[in-house]
Chain A
Amino acid sequence: MCFMCDMWGEGGVWFNNPKAYSRRIYKLRAPGTSLRKYGETSELGIGALMEKVQRARSDDPDQFPGLLNEVNEAIVRQGSGQAVTLKEACDIVDMGMPLASMHCICRKNVRAIEETNAQEYSCLGTGVGMFKWERWPERYRGGVHFMAAQEAKEWLEKWDKAGFMHLVMMIGGNYVEGICNCEYPACLAIRRRLDLGLLTLIKGHYVAQVDYDTCIGCGECIKRCQFGALKFEVRLDKANIDHFACYGCGLCETECTTGAIKMVERKTFPALREVW
């Protein structure tokens, strides 16, 4: 179980707890009224702290490691994003009504990519908050596009096929804000984790495992990995997955034509149980 399951899972996976989608939890996210004790760090504070760490990496390399630890401790108290497989994402969609797709804010900021209509939207918001987000055209150009659960699942499959990994977003309360479809380096969550070591994204509840008897060495899965966990092992003529580098997003599994890659629960590996 990850630290978010410890805090909010009530015995299970935190994003499978229906409480994480309730209107009450959403309302409680307002500063000062949160269910949890934030300590000195407010919800807005954590974003600013992450930016501070990012700047320190360039401006002040000596201070960087100390600052990184400090901010990671704050993130562990507040929660962060987590990699999910397509199947887990579809289960979230079943619980997270209302659902609406929208503009990806990271790709807008990092690559100046405009997503102006429902066909292009690549970010998914869940829960009652969406009724409010619709009114923010200054941040979400063109507003949002409301979807039924089935449409949202097909939409997730479309982006999975295109090569985006899925992560469930939750910053500032045990309320599931939505599912991002992401890729390195344009995604700020993946970027800050891989480049800086910030826990903006933690590994998922699954790990990809290759069955060497079924793997035909076609190499299709390798180009899908965002985390450098997959390589083609020449002499074995098979895909090789580094379990410690795997984030459990399942992109390799959905691409595998022979079903050789299976997503196995992280808790079943003794050495991976505490690797997030």
Chain B
Amino acid sequence: MQKMRTIPKIEIDHSMCLTPFDCKKCLQICPQAVFFVEAVKVERFKETNLKEPGAFRLEAPSRYACSGCNDCVEACPVDAITITWP
């Protein structure tokens, strides 16, 4: 278990980040695998369209593991990610 230490706030602007599963740049570049993408539009017996705006939502539930390398901020094509340190 990691020791208690400074943990950043990771804010994701969901009005800019519309198709995170299709873009997946931050998800795959993060060395600490901080991000998590989940379908928010779920219809029974139907595959959720990866390219549909708003169908998937990006979160950062493992932000305790963030080292602050800023790779995701630089990789994001719509500048939706902000990392702030206390």
Chain A residues within CB distance 8 Å of chain B? 51, 54-55, 57-58, 61, 108-112, 114, 135-139, 141-142, 185-186, 191, 195-197
In the complex, what distance in Å separates the CA atom of A136 from the CA atom of B32?
30
Docked-complex contact A58 and B63, CB < 8 angstroms: yes
Docked-complex contact B4 and A185, CB < 8 angstroms: no
The 9 A-B pairs at the shortest CB distance, nearest first, are namely: A112-B24, A185-B33, A58-B64, A112-B27, A57-B64, A197-B1, A137-B47, A58-B63, A112-B21
> Which A residue sits closest to B65, measured CB to CB?
A195
> Which A residue sits closest to B61, measured CB to CB?
A54
Which listed residue (A54, A138, A139) contacts B62, Cβ 8 A?
A: A54
Contacts of A110 in B (CB 8 A): 27, 33, 35-37
In the complex, what distance in Å separates the CA atom of A111 from the CA atom of B43?
22
Chain B residues within CB distance 8 Å of chain A? 1-2, 4, 7, 20-21, 24, 27-28, 32-33, 35-39, 42-48, 50, 61-65
- Give 23 A-B contacts (CB < 8 Å), ordered by A residue: A51-B61, A54-B61, A55-B61, A57-B64, A58-B64, A109-B36, A109-B37, A111-B28, A111-B33, A112-B21, A112-B37, A114-B50, A135-B45, A136-B45, A137-B45, A137-B46, A138-B42, A141-B47, A186-B33, A195-B1, A195-B62, A196-B1, A197-B1
Docked-complex contact B28 and A112, CB < 8 angstroms: yes
Docked-complex contact A61 and B4, CB < 8 angstroms: yes
Contacts of B64 in A (CB 8 A): 57-58, 195
